[in-house]
Structure 1
Amino acid sequence: MSTSETKTTAYSYSVEYILDRSHFEETFDESVVINTSPKRYLKSVAFLVAGFLMTITELSPYVAYFFIGLGAVEALQVRFNRAWWLMRQLISKSANNPVNLTIDDNGIHSKSTYIDHHLAWDDVYRIAETSQGFLLTTQLTKHYVSKRCLDDTCSDFIRQKMN
């Protein structure tokens, strides 16, 4: 190797953590922006109005009651957004199971019994640091990585990817 060549070492960090309630709470709190607009209830109002309008038609009353019930459930989902989301996560198959997280030069790889997901750095177009983790934005969705499972070197590595 000549003196003008530099040798770069590949970075790799691996950790295992449990997808428990505290992890899901942190993920929601750090990644979801709560919309406080009354427009959030438009879908539930539409279901309720459609259901009540169906009660005065020749349709089966069961269809009308279904739409009224759907409107009520949708309104509850909007009102209790965090609790609703947490409940769905906690009853999922992946809840309370270990996840192996690997962060390296290629991207972020999450692997558990139920998921095997690789997020390449090239697919990430925005990285935002929050008080408790990193929010990685791709073209389709957002991903959250908690700092509590990262060491300082790994956090610095992700910060370098921000630039």
Structure 2
Amino acid sequence: MTQSSSYTANFTLDKAHYTECYTQSSTLEHNKKTYFKANILTVFGLIILFATPVNPYAAWFVIALGILETLSVYYHKPWWVTRQMLSKASNSKVTLTIDEQGILTESFHVNSRILWADVTSVVETDLGFVINFSLGKSVTGKDIASKSYISKACLSDEAISFIKAKNPVMV
């Protein structure tokens, strides 16, 4: 006879939660490769400005796009957190239920379930778990993947152990 396990936790989608989500799940690195597109746009704009008879407004527009791209990469985290804080789900209470079927997230705005059969991997971070899962196949036949973050701050030790035990691929 197997025992059915179910763990429930509550948390609020506040700035601290969104900041933790971003820092623990983001793969953006600030290196030369990340800024490559911005640098190319800026250099291309400068070439247009100084080496061609094209209207300088077009050149300045391309230079401005390069600078905007640089700023969007540099301020990616605060911009992402701000966008989440401006969403209608911000500051709402969320009930998280982890059971034999999967992970159920319920709030006033969103009700979603990630089935364990759809989970491709679980990456344990210092402060939580990044759940990678499949949403199915696209029209072209490729897998549509997504990820979700669960903070350990709202989980009991038993729930953490349960996630580790249910994990198909622990990274």
**Range into which the TM-score falls when normalised by the shorter chain:** 0.7 to 0.9
Deviations 1:64-121 (A, max 9, x none): 6655444322211111222222222222221111112111111111122222221111
Offset of residue 16 of structure 1: 2.1
Q: Paired residue for 2:146?
A: 141
- Alignment length, in residue pairs? 155
Query: Which TM-score applies when normalising by structure 1?
Result: 0.79
Q: Paired residue for 1:3?
A: none
Q: Paired residue for 2:32?
A: 38
Determine the C-alpha separation between the residues in 2 that align with 1:66 and 1:85: 25
What's the Cα RMSD here? 2.5
**What SS does the aligned partner of 1:125 have?**
strand
Offset of residue 148 of structure 1: 0.9
Q: Paired residue for 1:4?
A: none
Answering whether residue 20 of structure 2 is matched by residue 26 of structure 1, we say yes
Change (3 A) 1:158 1:81: same
Task: List alignment gaps of at least 5 residues for structure 2.
Answer: 135-144
Change (3 A) 1:113 1:126: same
Q: Decide which of 133, 151, 155 is 1:150's aligned counterpart.
A: 155
Determine the C-alpha separation between the residues in 2 that align with 1:13 and 1:39: 42
Change (3 A) 1:45 1:113: farther
**What SS does the aligned partner of 1:94 have?**
coil
Offset of residue 147 of structure 1: 0.8
Answering whether residue 5 of structure 2 is matched by residue 11 of structure 1, we say yes
Determine the C-alpha separation between the residues in 2 that align with 1:104 and 1:27: 22
Task: List alignment gaps of at least 5 residues for structure 1.
Answer: 1-6
The structure with the largest strand share of the pair is 2
Query: Which TM-score applies when normalising by structure 2?
Result: 0.76
- Asked if the contact 1:13/1:102 (under 8 Å) is kept, the reply is yes
Amino acid across the alignment from 1:82: K
Q: Decide which of 84, 93, 99 is 1:98's aligned counterpart.
A: 93
Determine the C-alpha separation between the residues in 1 that align with 2:3 and 2:146: 31
Deviations 1:35-70 (A, max 9, x none): 232121233234445656499546x94x76655444
Determine the C-alpha separation between the residues in 1 that align with 2:158 and 2:34: 41
Amino acid across the alignment from 1:93: K
Determine the C-alpha separation between the residues in 1 that align with 2:117 and 2:41: 41
Q: Paired residue for 1:162?
A: 167
- Asked if the contact 1:128/1:162 (under 8 Å) is kept, the reply is no
Determine the C-alpha separation between the residues in 2 that align with 1:64 and 1:39: 23
